[in-house]
Amino acid sequence: MTTVVWFKRDLRTRDHAPLVAGATLAEPVIPLYVIEDEYWQQPDTSGRQWGFIRDSLDDLDRQLRTAGNQLLVTRGSVIEALRQLKASHGIRRVFCHQETGGQWTFERDKAVVQWCSDNQVELREWNQFGVVRRLKDRDIWDRAWTELMRQPALEAPRCVPAVGSIPSVAWRSLEPGATGADPCPGRQTGGSSPGEKLLASFLERRCVGYQYNISSPNTAVRACSRLSPHISYGTVSLREIYQQAKAAGNHRNTLPRKQKSLTSFRSRLHWHCHFIQKLEDEPELEFRAMHRELEGMKTGPNNSERLQRWQQGQTGWPLVDACMRSLQHTGWLNFRMRAMLMAVASYQLWLHWRDPALHLARLFTDFEPGIHYSQAQMQSGLTGINALRIYNPVLQSQKLDPNGEFIRRWIPELAGVPREMIHTPWLMTPTQKAKFGGNTYIAPVCDHEQAARAARKAVGDFRKQYVSREETGRVLDRHGSRKGPHQTRPKAAAKQTPDNQLSLFD
């Protein structure tokens, strides 16, 4: 009997339960990846994400070849691929990991379940993250997460029996669907090998000082693990990362500073699943506010000029524009700067969260729907259970890029402007502009302080009028994190962690 191991966002052979289960049966296995054109037409997908996957497929194929097999890559729909493999190879089982994605992948997965049931094909799914399907009680979640992370990680199988070679599509040169041109010269390279190297360099050297250096865009590039695209596409297993980080932190020669950093890093791995669980429990979060009553706070289409200026890194606020331009170039940004970009769009520019969230999703190589939509809403004040965080783009700039290095790097218009003026170039006199440059940099889209005040008032007024305790209680019950000895439903929004973003800051 032939088994298909269907790879989705789990592009590795180490700690891959479906592959190990398939190999253990000692019967032929077809490792399958399907390039789903319809998926690549979704508004949150992009060429840089595909580029990372393409690298990862190459690497996965190499790993499978060392085990005597190879990756079959087809194009179209998964059901069509399975139908053909059933006709040509009489497949009887499909093994895969669970996925918590957007509505499109959710519907696709349901269709695959139905097809397997209609065609007498056994479908088995494993859990690679601490995300619990059909979770009844949020209070047991933390325990379940820890149990999963502590289970031994699986070795890559040495031998995966093959059915013989089946020709793949020419995926190495393919640009599927509507992804189109998406130049991202600084994109991270996909594949387990680069992912494992990143993990090793982080645990050996880079993690020292993690908790102090992850907020400034200058230091974060090195201080953060940079593992996010590898976790999102599963080129390295979250459990292996957790276990290696724990071992490195517990080693008796580890300095206290490094230990603290690794504890802080491990808590992020927990948040990874905590946020995905929100989308798993409430898939509608992709489209509407977590706190349903806050959905009506902004109505009508977005102001297209403001949206465009934000998207193009042309707001006139240097740190905001530098972040957007660097993100376009590299596909990555640290947490604090992602939060600031989203918050500025939602508050100072008063845009509805969906357009900015989709734009950022496309720019993030590491796009992970569960984290992304929950975070985008949290930074837009739509959860109703977290403190509002309206970032002041000038104060952030003065604090996190005091010398203006990051700004100068990404905004050539300001390359010659000294540090005292670089955070507020609109205050430069014509003489200063003539001397230092800066004439070509755009004036601010609005007065950011006035806009922030107006936004705070508008949110406050709306909340007073339309927000009920019942709905806030529902959100807390369903999505609030549990901390403390009993890990039961939290009593007050202010006590929330990690949702309370204050705990994320240096």
Residues whose CB is less than 8 angstroms from the CB of residue 388 and which lie 6 or more positions away in sequence, other chains included: 381, 456, 459
Site residues (CB under 6 A) for ligand FAD, limited to 369-398: 371-372, 375-376, 379
CA angle 247, 207, 219 (to 5 degrees): 165
> Binding marks (x or -) toward ligand FAD, 183..222, rule CB under 6 A?
-------------------------------x--------
Please give the Cα distance from 378 to 384 (Å, whole number): 9
Nearer to ligand FAD, 8 or 86 (CB): 8
Q: Is 226 in the site for ligand FAD (CB under 6 A)?
A: yes
Residue 150 identity = R
Kindly give the interhelix angle for 369-378 and 354-363, rounded to the nearest 10 degrees: 140
Please give the Cα distance from 242 to 237 (Å, whole number): 9
CB atoms within 10 A of CB 144: 16
Binder of ligand FAD out of 227, 319, 345, 382 (CB under 6 A): 227
Q: Is 272 in the site for ligand FAD (CB under 6 A)?
A: yes
Q: Is 367 in the site for ligand FAD (CB under 6 A)?
A: yes
Secondary-structure percent of the chain, ordered helix, strand, coil, rounded to 5: 55, 5, 40
Binder of ligand FAD out of 13, 188, 232, 315 (CB under 6 A): 232
The distance of closest approach from Cβ of residue 487 to ligand FAD in the complex, given in angstroms and rounded to an integer, is: 19
Site residues (CB under 6 A) for ligand FAD, limited to 473-502: none
Binder of ligand FAD out of 50, 145, 171, 335 (CB under 6 A): 335
The distance of closest approach from Cβ of residue 359 to ligand FAD in the complex, given in angstroms and rounded to an integer, is: 11
The distance of closest approach from Cβ of residue 212 to ligand FAD in the complex, given in angstroms and rounded to an integer, is: 13
Q: Is 278 in the site for ligand FAD (CB under 6 A)?
A: no
Kindly give the interhelix angle for 238-250 and 256-281, rounded to the nearest 10 degrees: 160
Closest Cα partner for 497 from 378, 370, 381? 378
φ, ψ of residue 500 in degrees (nearest 5): -70, 105
- Tokens 């507020």 locate to 424
Site residues (CB under 6 A) for ligand FAD, limited to 242-271: 268-269, 271
Q: Is 231 in the site for ligand FAD (CB under 6 A)?
A: yes
Burial bucket for residue 409 (CB in 10 Å: 0-12, 13-18, 19+): middle
Binder of ligand FAD out of 73, 342, 385, 476 (CB under 6 A): 342
The distance of closest approach from Cβ of residue 265 to ligand FAD in the complex, given in angstroms and rounded to an integer, is: 6
The distance of closest approach from Cβ of residue 339 to ligand FAD in the complex, given in angstroms and rounded to an integer, is: 4
Q: Tell me the site size for ligand FAD, rule CB under 6 A.
A: 27
Q: 75 in helix, strand or coil?
A: strand
Judged by the rule CB under 6 A, the positions of this chain that interact with ligand FAD are 214, 224-228, 231-232, 268-269, 271-272, 275, 334-335, 338-339, 342, 364, 366-368, 371-372, 375-376, 379
